[in-house]
Amino acid sequence: MNHGLTGILSVIGASKTTCLSWITAVLLIHKPINIAISKILINYKPEDKDSDRKSVHNAGRFIGTIERLIMLIFISLGQYAAIGLVLTAKSIARYDKIVKEPEFAEYYLLGTLLSTASVIIISFIL
């Protein structure tokens, strides 16, 4: 098994250290960051006026994980400007709610900034 993993890593040109760093980064940007952001924003969360949206409560967390993973990939490639595309796409999807509900706009901005800062910090540490 170890020989197979070493073979795969040599084919893609990655070291064991690089592979371990990526695994650690992906694990960190998933659950620990989701929990941390939720705890930090608990006092800022606006009342949800759409009762239908409660059924997709965890979708936002999953979207955040994917967003951070994409940003981590862009940072590793040195494509810092491309992070703006991710943030723009996210804002376009929520534009209507951001415009109509100022409380949500503040909550959304805080969450986005925390999410972006966390992935930048993790990428530089690892």
Domain ranges of the chain: 21-125
SS (H, E, C) 83-116: HHHHHHHHHHHCHHHHHHCHHHHHHHHHHHHHHH
Measure the N-to-C terminal CA separation of the chain; round to a whole number of Å.
26
What per-residue confidence (pLDDT) applies to 63? 87
Q: What is the pTM of this model?
A: 0.80
More confident residue, 3 or 112: 112
Instruction: Note whether 94 and 54 are within 8 A (CB).
Output: no
Average pLDDT of 76-92?
91
What per-residue confidence (pLDDT) applies to 122? 93
Q: According to the per-residue pLDDT averaged within each range, which of 18-27, 41-50, 86-95, 110-119 is highest? A: 110-119
The band of 55, judged by pLDDT with boundaries at 50, 70 and 90, is very low
